[in-house]
Structure 1
Amino acid sequence: MSLTTSHREPLAQEVTGKLRHAISSGLWAVNARIPSEQELMKELGVSRGTLREAIKSLAHAGMLEVLRGDGTYVRATSEIAGATQKLIGRYGNKHVVEVRLALDTQAARLAAHNATAAQKGEMRTLLADRRRAWDTNDTAGWVANDWAFHLAVARASANPLLAELYESFGNVFRTDLEAHSGGQGIGCPQEGHEDLLAAIEARDPDAAFETVAENLNE
């Protein structure tokens, strides 16, 4: 991806958009340090002041964090994710779980109506990978595939706002998965989402809702 500017809009706004795209596209990963000011000034062809204005804007949105004397780090993939992470710190785990229950159950209902054949195939693959991780005691792989399955369900809802909101909770949801994985091997059960996938494949929104609610209540 090129960060070259075109001057078709206010320069600081255009630079902000270029930096935002580098983050949202995955070019710069979450928790990674972005290139130095000198590198970005050269690539973008802009002044230090313009670049800092763009970085300040994304830092205010929670997407970047500037650590004096160290560098600037990616903290969220979108403004909504940055805002969510700031808000989560103000509330207790009970409130986070309640919000997750609302998002997960609605995503499951909508996915049962709207999931495509390709999306269902992706879910089946993720559950197979999740099972293999459980069998081999691969905690990191189990967490990654479990989270990816949840996110796939949210995206299959065909509601892009719901999917983006769900993804914005990614850090806290993954941390919760890691906490429940146990200190000695994977503490969570091998099963977990096969019933949900079966309900989605059967286009049964009520069954999808019930299996998610039961899973989260446990």
Structure 2
Amino acid sequence: MLPDTFFNRPALELAPDLLGKVIRYRHQGIWLSARIIETEAYLLTDKGSHASLGYTEKRQALFADGGTIYMYYARGGDSVNFSAQGPGNAVLIKSAYPYFDQLSPQSTLSILQANNPDRQGLPRPVHKLCSGQTLLCKSLGLKVPNWDNQRFSAEHFYVEDCGLRPLEILQTTRLGISQGRDEDLPYRFVDAEYAAYCTKNPLRRGQVEGRDFFRLTGDLQPV
């Protein structure tokens, strides 16, 4: 379980460092896990953030200490964020990829698929189960009423460092930001190995390196 000090850092430092970390969630007594592959940083000072709209009871988690869980509804589903250092700063977990090990064996795939079937009620392919912020929460069973403004729990919900490190990180602009609300800020980070499985692939046709995205090494140095 990552300590509070891991989260109590600037959001632009925390967001890329969360890539490769594993979300653990105990759903109906069984641990489900997902490797984080896409994040977005949000700052109090940028117009695209919820916190920029001001403090409210609903947004209080954004103004709490680093490592506080902030959840909200987006496009009819649940989304999960972790607060970072400084009031109003946080990281949105944009996409993940199912992760299997001794705690969450391969057999948990059927639970993820049961939680999040496709529109025809059929099992989603493994690479599509968590390829978006609401799909991730639905697959794991994370719900706004249960976890908004809560702290991590070793018994129920936490993030773990399993030694997984992205070899290359793609830095690009965030998604879904309205025009005029700092939509051009390059605050989205993607594990390049999993780029095809994130919300929107930065390497898709038509994207130009150096203009639409930048490549960083795992230690955030330019390639």
Shorter-chain TM-score range? under 0.3
Structure whose residues are more often strand by fraction: 2
State TM-score, norm by structure 2: 0.25
Q: Which is higher, the Rg of structure 1 or of structure 2?
A: 1
Q: Which has the higher contact order (CA 8 A, sep 6+)?
A: 2
